[in-house]
Amino acid sequence: MNPSLLPLINACLNGISAVLLIAGLVLIRAGRRDAHRRCMLTAFAVSCLFLLLYLTHKYLLKSVHTPFRGPDFLKTPYYIMLFSHILLAASIPPLALITLRRGLAGKEALHRKIARWTWPLWMYVSITGVLVYLVLYQIWPAP
């Protein structure tokens, strides 16, 4: 696999995860529990694949940082978004695992309680992941 394609693939996986999260929310609100379960398990699998490919990309680059090449006045907002994205992304795997475990075990009240936190954080991470890709690789790419 061409390592230069990994950022695009990862952004697509983040976008797919966001779409699945929205679909999962719509499905559970419509009372379609089995479809909700499948959707959320797929979102988790997509996010796991993202993490594997993200780590592979960073390993191949031998670097974890891609410099921001946009205008100076946008540096601070970009780094605030990036820092919040990274911090919250680290919280998603344990939150998602706990949320999924509670849902699959039929502990609906506990599942709902944590899902109210997990869903918006996971959505934020998915969307900002796409935004980071756009900023670094499409809007202001390396020369």
What residue segments make up the domains of the chain, in order of their start?
A: 3-139
What is the rounded average pLDDT of the residues 75-80?
A: 98
How many angstroms separate the CA atoms of 110 and 102, rounded? 7
Residues ≥6 apart with Cβ < 8 Å to 138: none
- CA 115, 42, 94: angle at the middle one, nearest 5? 45
Q: If you average pLDDT over every residue of the chain, what do you get?
A: 96
The single residue listed with the structure tokens 């990274």 is 86
- pLDDT tens digits, one per residue of 57-66: 989 988 878 8
The single residue listed with the structure tokens 């960073």 is 58
What is the rounded average pLDDT of the residues 6-12?
A: 97
Between the CA atoms of 120, 125, 127 and 128, what dihedral angle is there, to the nearest 10 degrees? 130
Look at residue 2 and tell me whether its pLDDT is greater than 80.
no
- Residue 30's pLDDT band (cuts 50, 70, 90): very high
Residue 65, pLDDT score? 84
Residue 44, pLDDT score? 98
How many angstroms separate the CA atoms of 2 and 114, rounded? 38
Residue 51, pLDDT score? 95
Answer whether 0.85 is exceeded by the pTM: yes
Q: Which string of DSSP letters, residue by residue, matches 30-87? A: TT-HHHHHHHHHHHHHHHHHHHHHHHHHHHHHT-S-----S-GGGHHHHHHHHHHHHH
How many angstroms separate the CA atoms of 38 and 43, rounded? 9
